[in-house]
C-alpha cells in the first residue's frame, strides 16, 4: 500500500543537519503518524507521499520546507518559572513554554533570578535538514483516526 492521504505510516528516521546527526529513532518504537493531516513538517510529509513499506530513502529539506527561516527579532523575556524541562537553566538549553498556540520549544539566551531571555525560533529553524527514512508499515486509517486527525497505537496518540 502506498502512502497517501488518510494512511497510517510507521517509520524510522535519522535526522542530520550540515554538520551532525541530531536525532535517531531506531532505538525506540517507530514513529506513527496519519498522512495528510499536518502531523509532520510539511516537506517531510510531501516526501513520504507515494512510498510504501520497505522503502528506504533520503530527503534533504531547505529551511522553508522544514522549520522555517530564523527570525532575528525573536528574543522575548519570560519568567523563569514558566520554563519547563529543567530545574536550573543555562544559555543554550532548550525549554518548553506554554503559549496561546500550545506548547513551544524555545532556546534560553540569558538567565536572571526571575526572568530569562529566550529565542522563540524553533531550535532547528534556519537549518537545512536531511532525513534517512525507513518505511516500516503503511495501512488505511480508521474512521476514528481520520476524525481525530492523528494515528492511534504504539508511537501514536493514545486516548485514556
Distances from the Cα of 13 to the Cα of 55, 66, 70, 76, 85, angstroms? 12, 15, 24, 33, 24
pLDDT of residue 36: 95
Please count the structural domains in the chain: 2
Residue 54 located in a structural domain: yes
pLDDT < 50 stretches in the chain = 158-160
Task: Report d(CA 91, CA 26) in Å as an integer.
Answer: 30
CATH number for 92: 2.40.10.330
56 and 133, same structural domain? Answer: yes
Residue 41 located in a structural domain: yes
| Count, residues in the chain | 160
pLDDT of residue 28: 92
pLDDT of residue 154: 62
pLDDT of residue 42: 92
pLDDT of residue 157: 53
pLDDT of residue 102: 83
Task: Report d(CA 102, CA 157) in Å as an integer.
Answer: 17
Residue 105 grid cell: 520549544
133 and 62, same structural domain? Answer: yes
Amino acid at each position: 500500500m502506498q502512502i497517501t492521504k488518510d494512511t497510517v505510516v510507521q517509520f524510522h528516521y535519522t535526522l542530520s543537519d550540515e554538520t551532525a546527526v541530531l536525532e535517531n529513532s531506531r532505538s525506540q518504537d517507530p514513529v506513527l503518524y496519519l498522512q495528510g493531516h499536518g502531523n509532520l513538517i510539511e516537506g517531510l510529509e510531501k516526501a513520504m507521499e507515494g512510498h510504501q513499506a520497505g522503502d528506504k530513502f533520503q530527503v534533504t529539506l531547505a529551511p522553508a520546507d522544514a522549520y522555517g527561516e530564523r527570525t532575528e527579532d525573536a528574543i522575548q523575556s519570560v519568567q523563569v518559572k514558566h520554563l519547563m524541562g529543567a530545574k536550573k537553566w543555562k544559555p543554550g538549553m532548550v525549554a518548553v513554554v506554554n503559549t496561546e498556540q500550545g506548547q513551544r520549544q524555545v532556546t534560553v539566551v540569558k538567565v536572571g533570578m526571575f526572568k530569562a531571555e529566550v529565542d522563540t525560533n524553533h531550535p532547528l529553524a534556519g537549518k537545512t535538514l536531511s532525513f534517512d527514512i525507513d518505511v516500516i508499515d503503511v495501512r488505511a486509517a480508521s474512521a476514528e483516526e481520520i476524525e481525530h486527525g492523528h494515528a492511534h497505537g504504539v508511537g501514536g496518540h493514545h486516548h485514556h
